Structure 1
Amino acid sequence: MNKPLLQLWDTVGLGIIIEYPTGVIIANQTGGTACLYSTCEGVYLPLANDYNEKTKEFLSPEIELSNYFQGAKYKGNGAIKGIDLEDVKKINTIINKSGLSELIEIDVERLAASHEAWIRIKINNNENTQLMNGFENYPLNGVLTWANSD
């Protein structure tokens, strides 16, 4: 029997997939113009997305992350062969600006499995966020994901 499937490519904004044995597969189109089909079993949690009613502006780290992977280094090609420590530094800067650095950190042992819109992370037990309860065995494995730039 096939597992239930959630496909994220019509979502807007940044989120994490908490790798967890839920029986639900979460998929996203990733890897820039390579249009990879990435999947992970777990729970999806949107993070740090907002809307400024006054200026009618969408506010999300997704914007800066997309711009980075479409920029000079990758030119929209999605870093499909993995990311490097230079990328980690840039992504960490973006995460820090969004107040997410205590909750998530890039999993430097899984850099080769990361690419645009699919960054392998560790999820820390951060009681200050009050977003997650009842999970054990921190840090949890996860994926930082957003809309692909294809």
Structure 2
Amino acid sequence: MKPTIRLYDAVGTGVILTCQSGVMVSNQTGGTACLQPEVEGVYVPLRNDYSAQDFRFSSPELELSAYFEGPKHRGAGAISGLDSEDAEFIDDILSRHGLNESISVDREKLGDSHEAWVHVVVKADESHDEDLAQFTGFGPYPRHGILTWANSD
């Protein structure tokens, strides 16, 4: 049995870069279904910020949670898989947060994706500036990953 990191109390959005790390990473996902998938890899938080001055949290998680709690999925977790409309919405969020050059929804794995556990293609290092990138050196690219955030349950 490999060591496991559970992201159940993590706040914000991140990507699990799948690789042979010797560590399993898990999160509670799927809305009210409360699934607990896991994958071997490393977890990297992405685009989460907190301003202590005005007590403001900003993260792609806010938009993702609102979408999956909204009229289409109603917090049920999309456990039957995502569709192309969901993928486009998620890719738009990634683009607005400057992540579209390095991460996109894996259209071949929509059926295996659900709320807070979205299969993605990692296309490149997170930034062209190695000193500022959240992750570098995980090539060869493209590689698989999981976009994850706090479950809506």
Same fold (TM over 0.5): yes
Aligned to 1:128: 128
C-alpha separation between the residues in 2 aligned to 1:121 and 1:97? Answer: 16
- Aligned Cα root-mean-square deviation (Å): 1.1
Please state how far the C-alpha of 1:96 moved relative to its aligned partner: 1.1
8 Å contact from structure 2 (residues 10, 150) kept in 1: yes
Higher strand residue share = 1
Matched residue type, 2:114 = H
Aligned partner of residue 44 in structure 1, secondary structure: strand
Contact (CA 8 Å) 2:25, 2:38: kept in 1 or not?
yes
Flag structure 2 segments of 5+ consecutive residues without an equivalent: none
Q: Does 1:11 align with 2:14?
A: no
* Pair 1:143 & 2:137 matched: no
**What is the distance in 1 between the residues matched to 2:18 and 2:140?**
12
Q: CA deviation at 1:79?
A: 0.3
Q: How does 1:4-83 map to 2 (within 5 A)?
A: 4-83=3-82
Paired residue type of 1:128: H
The one-letter amino acid of 1:52's match is S
Q: Supply the distance in 1 between the matched residues of 2:94 and 2:49 (Cα, whole angstroms).
A: 15
Cα deviation for residue 13 of structure 1 reads: 0.3
Instruction: Describe how 1:86-105 pairs up with structure 2 within 5 A.
Output: 86-105=85-104
The one-letter amino acid paired with 2:128 is: N
1:110 aligns with 2:109: yes
Aligned residues: 149
The Cα shift of 1:83 comes to 0.2
TM-score by length of 1: 0.95
CA distance in 2, matches of 1:124, 1:81: 26
TM superposition outliers: structure 1 runs of 4+ over 6 Å:
none
TM-score, normalised to structure 2's length?
0.93
CA contact (8 A) 2:15 2:145 kept: yes
- Decide whether the 8 Å contact of 2:103 with 2:124 is kept in 1: no
Unaligned runs of 5+ in 1: none
SS at match of 2:82: coil
State whether residues 16 and 44 of structure 2, in contact with CA within 8 Å, keep that contact through their aligned partners in structure 1: yes
- Check the 8 A contact 2:44/2:135 in 1, yes or no: no
Structure 1 counterpart SS, 2:37: strand
